[in-house]
Structure 1
């Protein structure tokens, strides 16, 4: 695709649609990651009663490998948590387990691992998830697999310069237009300027830990961000802001504007849309899509949730957060046999913690018993059968998608 920095909002749709189709055609695993809507359509087609009905809690709704990874909290501490909550709803926690199981099975297939490894991965998922919920062995954190340990080490050693070089390709205060970042029109730029003058936005960026939000905030640059897969076609912006803090006044002096120090912050703004994940019957959630995403994030991923804010941008609900250098995703191209099994246990443990922290002890115990009911060391039949069924449907869907992509290119 040629550089497209000058596309206006009306001209972006065709390019974004092409990019989404291309990304999903790259591999079966990429098709699984980018096709949440189809996942729930096919899941709904499973025979009624196939999946256990867990206690209604906030779930990720799109719990695949790429949506877990290290996240920094407002103090800079790093934990492995769920990192994307666009699809979050109060729903059946089983849906997160099946989505993660499908993602792991797809990654194993992409790594050319035999089916027996997939069976072992699903077995370890149950062990890890039950451990994350609490109970026997819950005080022991499972050992991190190498793929997690490696990305955590990278996260802990990262600073602003790493984020700038990675996202902005430079440490200078500007966003380089090109393949990923596109120019804004006048209405978009004005809307972003107005947004960063709002008090709630100023407080979030200046003081994510809730302390005194002294200082100023200035929008330095902004661009449309061609990023992700499921978010293509919706509002997505990167904003570079300077957090300014006057100093010198502690000696009773006003040193003027030339004596302002501060830092740069990169802000991600993403339109919030209706979820594909079905909510549990009768539950009440925020009606505003952005409020729903933030509420789900605070329940499931505290490190991320405390750095997010629901806003309105160009008349649409959106979620903003400051990107931290430590925020990384698990980008797994190849699994070894043992590494795949260890990763399944550990990542399911992380999901179990996210679900379990929303339940009291009695509910956690009952749900843990339900998940492991009749378990003899093998994956429960409901998990195995649903993942196998969905893997088959996704494989067919992926090949059909690739055929349509090939026909489109030929035309």
Structure 2
């Protein structure tokens, strides 16, 4: 496949993003973050309760949760994509997750009552996270267990086949990887020679701080959906001696200003790369401690080594029971990330707030139900219009 010149990337990336969003209503929800933020600024969005200011994901759809590994080799389910993280209202993560789960239910052709039950179970899981001893693991649903089993069994070979298509120490250009400009290649070479990169990649279990780190190859990475069009690079490093060299794949992603609403006068880093890393360390410490913020090419970036265990959680073709269990579990993951930032009195006050405004027919806050219903409708309309505008042209 002929890849576009670096100066001509924007148009094909925009086309690719539009086509990805046209694949399904759930894909549209994942890619249309701006529509969600615009709703939050509307009259309906401003009527949401105001929770205690904490670091939130900011784009808390189900695809942004999944198995991640930490520097010690441990694996668990965490928030795994934090481009939009800010100190903000935790309600925004709940509504975004509710919209994502409701859209997944529609994609699985579940009846409308299943969505109501999912929101109820979502609140059960979220609130339980504030009461649990965090050494106690919540019960994982079947699809999450399957994702965890896959993550535990994955090796560099799996990552190489998935990300770079082979085991050779090169990144083959084609559909997923495009050529770099001379300026980009030079900037990446300079970055990878720094002590910060050396310390990052040698900090993982089984590596030594004295290991040699060698740049093997690099490319522009065509990855993601809503972030397509930003600067993103895949960098292949060799760690250790030539006789026993371990391969390492870095994801270097441009950090831009978050569109997610933030708490007024919140104390956050001004540099967007540092904001993403700081948010990750609060919400998903095992992942955040494997990340680094830097500046390159006059832009802010955040960097992490991709481990074989870092996977997106797919919720395809759920049964009603599976959907309810997944809603409860994923909300408990988000709840744990929020709760660890609150003291006991703040947690108790927040749970009391969440337990108000419930009807006799739905054991979930009325604001959550009405918000999700409104958002599902507007996103379905937006999805159909998006398909008319973009999918019919191809």
TM over 0.5: yes
Matched, 1:56 2:80: no
> Deviation string for 1:105-146 (max 9, x for gaps)?
0000011100100000000011000011225x8775332111
1:156-171 alignment, distance < 5 Å: 156-171=152-167
Matched, 1:224 2:220: yes
Decide whether the 8 Å contact of 2:251 with 2:303 is kept in 1: yes
Aligned counterpart, 2:251: 268
1:8-407 alignment, distance < 5 Å: 8-47=5-44, 50-134=47-131, 140-208=136-204, 213-245=209-241, 260-375=243-358, 378-406=363-391
> Deviation string for 1:210-258 (max 9, x for gaps)?
996212211101111100011111101101000124xxxxxxxxxxxx6
* Residue 75 of structure 1: how far off its partner (Å): 0.9
Change (3 A) 1:134 1:398: same
Report the TM-score when normalising by structure 1: 0.92
Cα RMSD for the two superposed structures: 1.7
Partner SS, residue 378 of structure 1: coil
Decide whether the 8 Å contact of 2:114 with 2:320 is kept in 1: yes
Question: In terms of mean alpha carbon deviation, does 52-61 or 39-48 score higher?
Answer: 39-48
Instruction: Specify the structure having the higher radius of gyration (Cα).
Output: 1
Decide whether the 8 Å contact of 1:59 with 1:90 is kept in 2: yes
**Partner Cα separation in structure 1 for residue 110 and residue 40 of structure 2:** 25
Change (3 A) 1:291 1:139: closer
Change (3 A) 1:210 1:296: farther
Decide whether the 8 Å contact of 2:151 with 2:311 is kept in 1: yes
Question: In terms of mean alpha carbon deviation, does 12-21 or 202-211 score higher?
Answer: 202-211
**Partner Cα separation in structure 2 for residue 299 and residue 64 of structure 1:** 18
* Residue 8 of structure 1: how far off its partner (Å): 2.2
**Partner Cα separation in structure 2 for residue 357 and residue 365 of structure 1:** 13
**Partner Cα separation in structure 1 for residue 337 and residue 45 of structure 2:** 26
* Residue 303 of structure 1: how far off its partner (Å): 1.4
Partner SS, residue 47 of structure 1: helix
**Partner Cα separation in structure 1 for residue 135 and residue 195 of structure 2:** 41
> Deviation string for 1:348-404 (max 9, x for gaps)?
000000000011111111111111224466121010000101111111111111111
Any stretches of 5+ residues in structure 2 without a counterpart? none
**Partner Cα separation in structure 2 for residue 157 and residue 102 of structure 1:** 31
* Residue 315 of structure 1: how far off its partner (Å): 1.3
